[in-house]
Amino acid sequence: MNLFNKLKPFDRKSGNINVVIDTPKGCRNKYAFDFGIKNYKMKSVLPSGAVFPFDFGSVPGTTADDGDPLDVLLLMDEPAFTGCLVQGRLLGVIEAEQTSKGKTERNDRLIAVAAESHTHSSLKSLKTLDAALIKEIEHFFVSYNEMRGKKFEPLARKGPNAAMRLVKKHQDKR
């Protein structure tokens, strides 16, 4: 049994969201958990000069519209490592559509801050995040998907309550 099968989306004691890191901040390599082999594997490499702006991971115990666990961009003081479990506080969600090979589906990005973060501890919602930083995050996802032959179109930015509803909606029923 792997980490994704054991964990729930939320920590029972704190109510924080559980995030398993796929790709650390500053990394060019994109890693993803492969449920078939029950391990992480490298999916792709970003071009020189392009890196993940923050730790990128997923919420265990969820299944998004694309069939994968919900995606999370996690603001932290220092990068974590692939497979690391981090509790986070939801700031909001960038609702988005992703198009690949003529097929369009929702592929929202949760934005959270590590519960133990010192640098980002004052952040409570996307509204408290610098507007330029949110634009940069959206631009990263647009350009990252473009490099992979996909189109990523941000539709809306919503706060922590909408993000919480999204997680609950996509929570696996076990």
Domain positions in the chain are: 3-169
> What length does the chain have?
174
Rounded Cα gap, residues 174 and 72, in angstroms: 22
- pLDDT at position 5: 62
Q: What is the pTM of this model?
A: 0.93
- pLDDT at position 132: 96
> How far is Cα of residue 78 from the mean position of the Cα atoms in its chain?
16
- pLDDT at position 1: 40
State how far the alpha carbon of 45 is from the alpha carbons of 1, 29, 42, 49, in Å: 28, 5, 8, 11
**Regions in the chain scoring below 50 on pLDDT:** 1
- pLDDT at position 3: 56
- pLDDT at position 125: 96
- pLDDT at position 174: 53
State how far the alpha carbon of 69 is from the alpha carbons of 5, 118, 151, in Å: 11, 27, 20
Secondary-structure class of domain 3-169 per CATH: alpha beta
